[in-house]
A and B are shown apart, each in its own frame.
Chain A
Amino acid sequence: GESVGLHLPTLSVQEGDNSIINCAYSNSASDYFIWYKQESGKGPQFIIDIRSNMDKRQGQRVTVLLNKTVKHLSLQIAATQPGDSAVYFCAEEGGSYIPTFGRGTSLIVHP
């Protein structure tokens, strides 16, 4: 879930485990959802997207699940690697075509 202040929600996993990062979005009219990965000192990098007419989409080692009923989005990373350590943001987009970002989750992968 979301937290207030400067502390991001943090997920710590062991290398090789599967990771699941969750996101609650706010606008029921949003029809496009994106996951971004942001490494320290860099801009956000696209991982995977999904449109509202789908409930699951798979990429390489990543899967995004969308539950419109409860306005919930999740990112699953298979066989997590140390290079996956970063902050992950979900973003929602509706008729304004402006991505609105969540607070982010910090993923820490221990070797």
Chain B
Amino acid sequence: GAGVSQSPSNKVTEKGKDVELRCDPISGHTALYWYRQSLGQGLEFLIYFQGNSAPDKSGLPSDRFSAERTGGSVSTLTIQRTQQEDSAVYLCASSLGRAGRTEAFFGQGTRLTVV
């Protein structure tokens, strides 16, 4: 596709369950970001992948959160033992990365609701 694709668009899960959120970045983009957005709030940085470098995990709020990026393309964000405070919209973005200063393109997000 032409843009960043995220799935599922909505996810309702029970407290304590694990969830996986998927992101398909724009082809050729070496940088991939995950952000979290709570209702009426700004975007909270979670993790950043750049090419084959070790990811910057400095934004992950706890060790229940992890992310992978396979083959420099698709990324999965995993939240283990979900809590109600994890409810938010999870946004993925990709960019050309360090090839030059260019904007990040965002997906539509996954709305996660923990009940």
Q: Quick check: B56 and A98 within 8 Å, CB to CB?
A: yes
A70 interface contact, C-beta 8 A:
no
A43 interface contact, C-beta 8 A:
yes
A-side binding surface: helix, strand, loop or mixed? loop
Q: Mark B71-101, 1 if CB is under 8 A from A, else 0.
A: 0000000000000000000010100011001
Q: Quick check: A6 and B39 within 8 Å, CB to CB?
A: yes
Chain B interface, number of residues (Cβ within 8 angstroms) = 25
Q: Quick check: A103 and B42 within 8 Å, CB to CB?
A: yes
Q: Report the stretch among A13-21, A45-53, A58-66, A78-86 that lies at the interface.
A: A45-53
Give bound CA distance, A41 to B89, whole Å.
Answer: 9
Query: How far, in Å, is A88 (CB) from chain B's closest CB?
Result: 11
Chain A interface, number of residues (Cβ within 8 angstroms) = 26
Q: Give A residues with C-beta under 8 Å from B.
A: 6-8, 31-32, 34, 36, 41-46, 49, 51, 89, 93, 96-104
Q: Give B residues with C-beta under 8 Å from A.
A: 4, 31, 33, 35, 39-43, 45, 48, 50, 56, 91, 93, 97-98, 101, 103-109
